[in-house]
């Protein structure tokens, strides 16, 4: 009897099995004593619907999504440069080289010579490190204008500026004025020597030469370097100065092509060989005038001169003919 009672109590405390939930007949007598001992359903379980809803079927027109590749196969995105305002030509332009030592030394305190682009012409014509020599600045800040402006290599322009500052400026001061202009007869020109067709490329074609015809003074005087009437001392001073600075000097008497100007260049030769050919001619002799000399003021009037000439004896008249000697007759 006791054993049956304990078993009944243990069955009530233990969770009901599925078979007891469907209707265990052994507990029916005790239900009246202990009340309804059937397990109550969980509130969450009661809220669940009878069937789990499935997702709607995929539509036929849905895009196909490729499966994502593994992390090892992913490519790092390349950053795209932001568009710039500069055109494609400027963006692709090569970077200009740094300025040369000559360009850094040729400052505005020495010469007004802005840089210009390199020139590459046919047959090696042109050059690099070019400037446009517009004026030479003297130590006292006075400017000597180059007329017209000369296109030269920087080294040639620098030597021209040094020549004007150190040699020509003191020379013009000795003439009673200040140099104001430099007559540029020719600078850069893509041509052969002496403009001969087929000749070797001139130093003018390399922007390495300058033809000088004269220099002007502030008082309006022009000093032509090939004018025989210019004092010989002045022309010889210029001759010595240019032959000491430049490797080629050609003037009157050199080759017949430089009779009215002086050619200067910095051509490089073997063993630093130089050419200086410039004959400083003496003034031409004065030619006797073609017209007769003027009648002197102290000469007597022409009428009186005629009467005095008529009053002279026949034997002393200067214009009377001398009688011819008569032949003598022989006596028989």
pLDDT 10s digits, 287-312: 766 777 787 888 777 776 666 666 66
- Name residue, tokens 């003297």: 138
Mean pLDDT of the chain: 79
* DSSP codes, 219-276: TS-EEETT-TTS-HHHHHHHHHHHHHH-SEEE-TTSSSS-SSSEEEE----GGG--EE
**Closest to 209 (Cα-Cα) out of 220, 193, 196, 232:** 193
Given this model, what pLDDT does residue 266 score?
A: 97
Given this model, what pLDDT does residue 25 score?
A: 45
Q: How far is CA 260 from CA 153, 204, 256, in A?
A: 24, 17, 10
Beta bridge mates, 210? 264
pLDDT 10s digits, 138-193: 999 999 999 999 999 999 999 999 999 999 999 999 999 999 999 999 999 999 99
The residue count for the chain: 332
pLDDT < 50 positions in the chain: 1-2, 6, 12-13, 19-21, 23-28, 30, 33, 320, 330, 332
295: how many CB neighbours lie within 10 A of its CB?
8
- Name residue, tokens 């002496």: 194
Asked if 229 and 262 count as a contact pair (C-beta separation under 8 A), the reply is no
Q: How far is CA 32 from CA 2, 11, 36, 207, in A?
A: 20, 15, 8, 130
Given this model, what pLDDT does residue 75 score?
A: 58
3-class state of residue 303 by DSSP? helix
* Residue 241 in tokens: 């100065």
- Name residue, tokens 């994502």: 68
Given this model, what pLDDT does residue 270 score?
A: 92
Q: 144: which DSSP letter? A: E
Given this model, what pLDDT does residue 27 score?
A: 47
Interatomic CA distance for residues 284 and 293, integer angstroms: 22
Given this model, what pLDDT does residue 295 score?
A: 79
Interatomic CA distance for residues 128 and 124, integer angstroms: 11
């Amino acid at each position: 009897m006791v054993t049956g009672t304990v078993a009944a109590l243990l069955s009530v405390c233990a969770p009901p099995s599925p078979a007891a939930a469907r209707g265990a007949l052994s507990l029916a007598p005790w239900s009246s004593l202990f009340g309804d001992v059937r397990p109550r359903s969980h509130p969450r379980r009661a809220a669940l619907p009878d069937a789990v809803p499935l997702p709607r079927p995929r539509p036929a027109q849905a895009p196909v999504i490729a499966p994502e590749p593994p992390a090892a196969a992913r490519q790092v995105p390349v950053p795209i440069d932001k568009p710039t305002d500069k055109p494609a030509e400027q963006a692709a332009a090569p970077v200009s080289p740094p300025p040369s030592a000559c360009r850094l030394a040729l400052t505005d305190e020495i010469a007004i010579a802005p840089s210009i682009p390199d020139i590459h012409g046919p047959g090696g014509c042109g050059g690099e490190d070019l400037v446009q020599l517009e004026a030479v600045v003297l130590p006292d800040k006075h400017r000597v204008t180059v007329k017209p402006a000369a296109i030269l290599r920087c080294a040639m322009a620098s030597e021209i500026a040094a020549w004007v500052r150190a040699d020509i400026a003191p020379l013009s001061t000795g003439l009673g004025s200040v140099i104001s202009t430099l007559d540029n007869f020719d600078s850069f020109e893509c041509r052969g020597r002496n403009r001969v067709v087929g000749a070797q490329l001139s130093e003018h074609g390399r922007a390495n030469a300058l033809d000088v015809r004269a220099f002007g003074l502030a008082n309006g005087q022009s000093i032509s370097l090939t004018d025989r009437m210019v004092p010989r001392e002045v022309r010889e001073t210029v001759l010595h100065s240019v032959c000491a600075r430049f490797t080629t000097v050609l003037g009157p008497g050199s080759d017949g092509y430089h009779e009215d100007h002086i050619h200067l260049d910095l051509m490089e030769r073997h063993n630093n060989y130089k050419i200086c050919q410039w004959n400083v001619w003496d003034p031409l002799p004065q030619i006797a005038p073609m017209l007769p000399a003027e009648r002197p003021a102290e000469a007597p009037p022409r009428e009186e001169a005629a009467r005095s000439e008529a009053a002279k004896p026949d034997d002393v008249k200067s214009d009377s003919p001398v009688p011819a000697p008569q032949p003598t007759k022989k006596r028989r």
